[in-house]
Amino acid sequence: MKNRTSVFIVGGLIILALIGLVGSFTANPAGFIQRIAVIAVIGFIIYLVVRKFSNSSPQKKEQRAFLKAAKRSKKRFHQKSGDSTVKTSSLGSLTSLKKSSKTKKKSPAHLTVIDGKKGKKKNRASL
């Protein structure tokens, strides 16, 4: 009950805003809709600009990479727990499942080997 005055103030402001919106709409409906559309377009542009600059931070990229790794880990954990419950009595099927999980291809390291002229000696001028 301490904040009773703030409830009345906020409620009064909301009621006055609603009366103003209804009055503006009844006086000039086309202008009201036009103002709302302009406010929505400006808000959307501001949202796009803020999102553009906030996504470029390296922390967001690291967070995205962490979430991707977490999804992979969760998927791998669910596959391992699902394999043990599917067939525990058949020994041959378990070994084939283990072999198939070990033979997964890793992503390429994106490294290249540069072949240099290692056997050829440099001609240096002697002083």
pLDDT tens readout for residues 24-41: 999 999 999 999 999 999
User: What is the Cβ-side half-sphere exposure of residue 92, based on CA atoms within 13 angstroms?
Assistant: 0
Domain count, the chain: 1
- Helix runs in 56-112, H state only: 58-86, 91-102
Q: Output the pLDDT for position 81.
A: 67
Residue 101 lies in a domain: no
Domain of 72? 7-79
Residue 65 lies in a domain: yes
Residue 97 lies in a domain: no
Residue 13 lies in a domain: yes
Residue 31 lies in a domain: yes
Residue 29 CB neighbours (<10 A): 10
Q: Name the most confidently modeled range: 12-16, 87-91, 103-107.
A: 12-16
The 8-class DSSP code of residue 89 comes to S
Helical packing angle, 4-27 and 29-55, nearest 10°: 120
Residue 107 lies in a domain: no
Q: SS3 of 9, please? A: helix
